[in-house]
């Protein structure tokens, strides 16, 4: 039975954040977005999904759900939110986020990825256990701090995140291409997991090496979230990727020869 992280474990100070994160590989914090910014974020996502912005169609990731009765594909992911939309480019630079990220990465920070995670009512599918670093081995070292912000309340019923505490200290674990790139089922000790419900506007942070997943959305309400993955501006690109990718500096300075 998965444990549920109690609200009282939500961290409020940067030093407590650093300590909890270093020990467990994730951390839930007090709500990050105030009501006004939460509403603006929700509206902006709505505009993107409704095609009222020039967000590129190639950045919508869709899937067909057996549970949708073979209906139209549903949007599962919005890719590269911050590159494709000015609102999210600004949000990714918000000091409320970066002040915490800096506790882990140090003062020079680049944004590696920004994603909108949609779980539509009833048909929002699970995200299998994985480490983000296992997807992003083009970065050396593949160390990331991911800020995951709930746009709707995330609960155990609608697919909040689950973490394996301490798994960030085990290196990159073997992943296999099954329904997606994931840690195979037999290697996931579900009884050690912690589910982290987050109120709308609240956030959790996790290390790129922390094994995590989210369940299906069984409720009649959407579960929308966004994530920003950060890394130290001192990270480098693996040789075969040099000159082929670049990432935006969001705080501090950049370094010659680094990403
Ligand atoms: O929001 C989700 O359902 C999955 C999020 C996730 O896996 C991530 O942020 O790395």
Ordered domains of the chain (ranges, CATH): 3-63+71-251 (2.60.120.620)
- Rounded to the nearest angstrom, the distance between the alpha carbon of 107 and the centre of ligand 1 is 25
Residue 123 has pLDDT above 90, yes or no: no
Q: Is the four-CA dihedral 155, 156, 159, 162 of positive or negative sign?
A: positive
Structure tokens at 25: 């590989």
Ligand 1, atom 10, lies closest to the CA of: 132
In tens, the pLDDT along 11-61 reads 888 999 999 999 999 999 988 999 999 999 999 999 999 999 999 999 998
Sheet of strand 161-163, all strands in order from the earlier edge strand to the far edge: 3-4, 194-196, 161-163, 212-214, 127-130
Residue 2 has pLDDT above 90, yes or no: no
Atom of ligand 1 nearest to the CA of 227: 9
- What is the Å distance from ligand 1's center to 126 Cα? 9
Q: What is the model's pLDDT at position 8?
A: 80
- Summarize the confidence of residues 181-210 as an average pLDDT: 97
The pLDDT score that the predictor gives to residue 71 is 63
Contact between 83 and 114 under an 8 Å Cβ cutoff? The reply is yes
What are the angstrom distances between the C-alpha of 189 and each of 129, 163, 164, 204?
A: 10, 11, 8, 21
User: Which of 25, 75, 117, 163 should be mutated for ligand 1, with most atoms under 8 A from CB?
Assistant: 117
Angle at 210 between CA 200 and CA 159, to 5 degrees: 35
Q: What is the pLDDT of residue 17?
A: 95
Q: Which residues line ligand 1 (CB under 6 A)?
A: 117, 127, 132, 146, 148, 159, 212, 214, 225, 227
Across 14-29, b (16+ Cβ under 10 Å) vs e yields eeebbebbeebbbbbb
Given CA atoms 33, 35, 36, 42 in this order, what sign does their dihedral have? Answer: positive
C-alpha distance from residue 47 to each of 42, 70, 73, 78 (Å) = 9, 26, 19, 12
Stretch 240-247: mean pLDDT: 93
The average pLDDT across 137-143 equals 97
Q: Which of 148, 164, 168, 180 to mutate to test the pocket of ligand 1 (most atoms within 8 A of CB)?
A: 148
Distance separating alpha carbons of residues 233 and 227, to the nearest angstrom = 19
- pLDDT at residue 7 in the model: 84
With H, G, I as helix, E, B as strand and everything else as coil, classify residue 198.
strand
Of all protein residues, the one whose alpha carbon is nearest to atom 3 of ligand 1 is 214
Q: What is the pLDDT of residue 175?
A: 98
How many CB atoms lie under 10 A from the CB of residue 125?
Answer: 22
Name the pLDDT band for 74 (thresholds 50, 70, 90): confident
In the structure, what pLDDT confidence band is assigned to residue 73 with cuts at 50, 70 and 90? confident
pLDDT in tens, 214-224: 999 999 999 99
Nearest CA to ligand 1 atom 6: 213
Q: What is the mean pLDDT of the chain?
A: 93
Is the separation of the CB atoms in 118 and 74 below 8 Å?
Answer: yes
Average confidence (pLDDT) over 60-85: 80
> How is residue 173 annotated by DSSP?
P
* Residue 106 tokens, joined: 């140090």
Hey, is 104 helix, strand or coil? helix
The strand ranges marked E within the chain are: 3-4, 26-29, 60-63, 74-79, 109-119, 127-130, 139-140, 145-150, 161-163, 176-177, 181-182, 194-196, 203-207, 212-214, 223-232, 236-237, 248-251
Distances (CA, A) of 169 to 7, 24, 26, 166, 208: 25, 9, 12, 6, 11
Q: How confident is the model at residue 64 (pLDDT cuts 50, 70, 90)?
A: low
Residue 9 scores a pLDDT above 90: no
Q: Is the pLDDT of residue 258 over 60?
A: yes
206 C-alpha vs ligand 1 centroid, how far in Å? 10
**pLDDT score of 65:** 63
CA-225 nearest atom, ligand 1: 1
């Amino acid at each position: 039975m998965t444990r549920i992280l109690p609200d009282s474990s939500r961290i409020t100070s940067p030093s407590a954040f650093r300590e909890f994160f270093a020990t467990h590989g994730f951390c839930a914090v007090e709500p990050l977005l105030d009501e006004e910014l939460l509403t603006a974020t929700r509206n902006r996502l709505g505009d993107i999904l409704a095609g009222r912005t020039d967000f590129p169609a190639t950045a919508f990731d869709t899937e067909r759900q057996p549970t949708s009765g073979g209906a139209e594909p549903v949007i599962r992911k919005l890719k590269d939110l911050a590159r494709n939309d000015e609102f999210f480019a600004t949000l990714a630079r918000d000091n409320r986020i970066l002040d915490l990220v800096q506790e882990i990465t140090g003062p020079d920070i680049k944004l590696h990825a920004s994603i909108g995670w949609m779980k539509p009512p009833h048909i929002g599918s699970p995200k299998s256990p994985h480490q983000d670093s296992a997807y992003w081995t083009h970065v050396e070292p593949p160390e990331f701090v991911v800020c995951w912000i709930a746009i709707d309340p995330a609960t155990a019923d609608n697919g909040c995140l689950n973490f394996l505490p301490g798994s960030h200290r085990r290196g990159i674990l073997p992943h296999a291409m099954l329904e997606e790139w994931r840690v195979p089922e037999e290697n996931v000790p579900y009884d050690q997991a912690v589910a982290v419900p987050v109120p709308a506007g609240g956030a959790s942070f996790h290390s790129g090496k922390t094994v995590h997943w989210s369940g299906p959305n069984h409720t009649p309400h959407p579960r929308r979230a966004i994530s920003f993955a950060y890394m130290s501006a001192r990270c480098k690109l693996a040789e075969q990727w040099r000159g082929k990718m670049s990432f935006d500096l969001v705080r501090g300075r950049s370094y010659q020869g680094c990403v």
